[in-house]
Structure formats: C-alpha cells, structure tokens
C-alpha cells in the first residue's frame, strides 16, 4: 500500500483551534491577548506572503499582531531600535524577524538581540542550548512542528533510527536535538557526508531539509519508514517541489509529508504555540 499522507494543513488547523480555545479561556479570566510582532526588512515576495499568512493566523486565534515592514536599506541600528522597543513592550510576547535579511545586516547579532523569552522562532543560542541540555523552553518552530507530525502517526519512535539530511542552525541541528530528546538514534548527513544514500536507506525516520529538488531518490527509502520532507524549491514553471522524489518514496514509506502542505503549516502553528507559551510562562 502507498504511504499515508501526513497532512500538515489539516493537522495545523486542529492545533490552531486548540490555541484559539486557550486564548479564549485567557480572556474569560481577564487576561490580555498574546502578542506577536513580526519585522520584515525589504520586499522579498516570498517573505511578504509568509508574513501575511502569519497575520491571518494571529487573527484566527485571537492574538494581537504587530507587523513592521522596513525598507531594504534600513540600517542595522534602526532594526535594533525596533527590536529593543518590542523587547520592552509588555503587550508583545513574541518577536520574529523574517529571514532572509539584506546582506548589510548581521543576522547573528539581530537574532541574539531578541530577548530569549520573546524568541518564539527558537533561534536564540539560549533556547537552542536549553534544548541541547534536555531542558527545552522555546523550541525551533519547524522541528517542533515535525515532532507533532510524528506524534500524529501514532508510532512509538523511541529507539528508532533517524537520519536528518541537512545541518542548518535553524532546522537540521535542532531537529537532531528534538529526535535525541525523543529517544531516537540520530544521524545527521550534510555536505561533507561521503555516502548519504547509505544513511537514508537505514532510516526508520527520514527528515530532509536541504532545499535541493529530488536529492533523495525514492528507491533509497527504507520500506515502512516515515518520510518528512522539509525542503522546498520552486521550478521555472512556478511549481513547488521537495527534496524527496515523492511518487517513488510513497511506494515504500508508511507515512510521508507532501510539498506543499506538509511541514510548512506546522511551522506556522508552532509559532503560535510558542507565542502562547511565552505569554503563559513569562509575561502573564
């Protein structure tokens, strides 16, 4: 039988409803709405689409939304002032600076400027470090979303062999930490790996996050495995593709995420969950 589809769009809709219910419960107690601020520098079309989607998500669950769009030539000092203002704003529980940033801005400095308890993207070294020490607070959104997808399968993943393809700071590395925390045996394949195919073939859980269309061949997939495709690229015709050869992989896997409609919606709902968590734990 072909793999079952892990429908991130449908699962995320259920989770957004849960967030909305909790926000409503806060209101009945006289507590304020959680607040999420998003800063967009420049006019990258993909980033603008993503930010608008976040605004819709906030409206759906009852969050306060503060979106600030700055010109592409905004000096780093100006961006820092906006972050500092939001850091000190008691109505804002989460701050997200939309990536990528223009090349004249130091991304590391900007992400570290956000207070750790308002870092709802989960990118700050403090939050990554807490995850590494098995004491997570605000977790990186995409790995957090992936873990909820894995939970949806109903499969007990403790002790399973997991392979992550891609070692980025924002996805691959925290993904490995999440899977370690869940009790998996974790391998990370990256650009220096000599035989990625071998590691993919042995994976009970495969997570690919490279943004290289068709990198993972369907024939490499271990029969019965769970395949999570985070990578996304757009071809010359405007169609979106993942890292994994979907049609062939689906013949072998037990569960698989589509692209689009798999991990992306889960990343967005994890952002809402993190913002609510920050409001409840740090700022109420």
Residue with tokens 């997200």, as numbered in its chain: 96
Cβ count near 171 (within 10 Å): 24
Alpha-carbon 232 to chain mean position:
13
35: closest CA among 90, 113, 85?
A: 90
Query: How is residue 256 written in tokens?
Result: 């698989």
254: closest CA among 203, 208, 216?
A: 203
Peptide bond preceding 14: is omega within 30 degrees of 0, i.e. cis?
A: no
Q: Answer yes or no: 121 catalytic.
A: yes
Where are the alpha helices (H) located in the chain, listed in sequence order? 8-28, 45-61, 76-87, 107-113, 125-132, 141-153, 172-181, 196-201, 246-250, 263-278
Of 121, 204, 229, 243, the catalytic one is 121
Q: Answer yes or no: 148 catalytic.
A: no
Q: Answer yes or no: 54 catalytic.
A: yes
| DSSP three-state, residue 70 | strand
Residues 6+ apart with CB under 8 A from 111: 97, 119, 121, 123, 124
Q: Which CA distances in Å does 45 have to 40, 48, 185?
A: 11, 5, 39
Of 57, 93, 98, 118, the catalytic one is 98
Q: Hey, which residues are catalytic here? A: 54, 98, 121
């Amino acid at each position: 039988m072909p793999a079952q589809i892990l429908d991130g769009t449908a699962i995320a809709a259920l989770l957004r409803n849960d967030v909305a219910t909790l926000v409503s419960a806060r209101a009945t107690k006289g507590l304020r709405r959680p607040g999420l601020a998003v800063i967009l520098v420049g006019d990258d079309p993909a980033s603008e689409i993503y930010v608008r989607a976040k605004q819709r998500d906030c409206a759906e669950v009852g969050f306060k939304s503060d979106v600030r769009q700055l010109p592409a030539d905004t000096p780093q000092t100006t961006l820092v002032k906006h972050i500092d203002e939001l850091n000190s704003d008691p109505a804002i529980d989460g701050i997200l600076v939309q990536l990528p940033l223009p090349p004249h801005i130091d991304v590391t400095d900007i992400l570290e400027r956000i207070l750790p308890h308002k870092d709802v993207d989960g990118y700050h070294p403090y939050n990554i470090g807490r995850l590494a020490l098995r004491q997570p607070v605000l977790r990186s959104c995409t790995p957090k979303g992936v873990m909820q997808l894995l939970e949806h399968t109903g499969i007990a993943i403790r002790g399973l062999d997991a392979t992550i393809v891609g070692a980025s700071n924002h996805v691959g590395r925290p993904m490995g930490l999440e899977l370690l925390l869940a009790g998996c045996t974790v391998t990370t394949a990256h650009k220096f790996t000599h035989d990625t195919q071998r590691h993919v073939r042995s994976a009970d859980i495969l997570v690919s996050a490279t943004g290289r269309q068709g990198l993972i061949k369907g024939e490499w997939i271990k029969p019965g495995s769970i395949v999570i495709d985070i990578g996304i690229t757009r071809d010359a015709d405007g169609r979106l593709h993942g890292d994994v050869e979907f049609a062939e992989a689906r013949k072998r896997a037990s569960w698989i995420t589509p692209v689009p409609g798999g991990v992306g919606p889960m990343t967005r709902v994890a952002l809402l969950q993190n913002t609510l968590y920050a409001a409840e734990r740090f700022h109420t």
